[in-house]
Amino acid sequence: MSRRRRRLVAVLGAFAVLVGVLVAGRVLASDPIAYGVPVWPFANTLDGAENQQLDAVTAAIRAEARGAVGNVADVVRRHGVEVLSARIDRPADALASVLLELRFRLRDPGQDDRRDADTTRCRSLLVRGDPGLTMSSRALDCP
C-alpha cells in the first residue's frame, strides 16, 4: 500500500471516529437523564436538578411502595411531584406495571430569586413490579 493511500485511510478513519463521537454526544444530550449521564457536557444545571428530583422520587417509590405498583402515584404526589396521568397495567398480576406522566417544577440554581426563574419539565416514568421494582424514564413535552 502506498504512503498516500495509508494517509487517506488514516484521515478517513479519524473522520469516522469524530463523526461517531459527535453523533453519540447528540444522542446523549437529547435526554441525558434517561441515558444516565446528567453531567456536563451532555446536561445543564436544570438537567441536574431534574435528575435529583427524579432520584428522590424513585428512592421514595422503592422505600414506600413495598413492591405494589398500585400506590406508586400516591407516593409520588406525597413527594411534591405533580402526576399528570397514571395507567396501571395488569393490577392483579405480580408483573404489574404503572406508567406515570410527571411534571417537575425546577429552579435553575444559576438564576436569581425571580418568579419567572422556575422551569417546568415533564417525564414519563415506567415502574415495573417484577422482582423488586424496576424503573425507566424518558423526557416528554409538557401539556
Examine the pLDDT at 94 and tell me if it is beyond 80.
Answer: no
Q: How many domains does the chain have?
A: 1
What mean pLDDT, rounded, does the chain reach? Answer: 85
pLDDT in tens, 20-64: 999 988 888 888 888 888 878 888 888 888 899 999 998 998 888
Q: What is the mean pLDDT of residues 58-78?
A: 83
- What is the value of pTM for the model shown? 0.75
- Residue 129 belongs to some domain of the structure: yes
- Residue 51 belongs to some domain of the structure: yes
Q: How far apart are CA 65 and CA 129, in angstroms?
A: 10
- Residue 122 belongs to some domain of the structure: yes
Residues spanned by the domain of 101 = 45-140
Q: What is the pLDDT of residue 100?
A: 94
- Residue 126 belongs to some domain of the structure: yes
pLDDT in tens, 110-130: 665 555 567 899 999 998 877
- What is the 3-state secondary structure of the chain? CCHHHHHHHHHHHHHHHHHHHHHHHHHHHHCCCCCCCCCCCCCCHHHHHHHHHHHHHHHHHHHHCCCCHHHHHHHHHHCCCEEEEEEEECCCCCCCEEEEEEEEEEECCCCCCCHHHEEEEEEEEEEECCCCCEEEEEEECCC
The rounded Cα 125 to chain-centroid distance in angstroms is: 8
Predicted confidence band at 9 (pLDDT cuts at 50, 70, 90)? very high
User: In terms of C-beta density within 10 A (0-12 exposed, 13-18 middle, 19 or more buried), how is residue 141 classed?
Assistant: exposed
- Residue 28 belongs to some domain of the structure: no
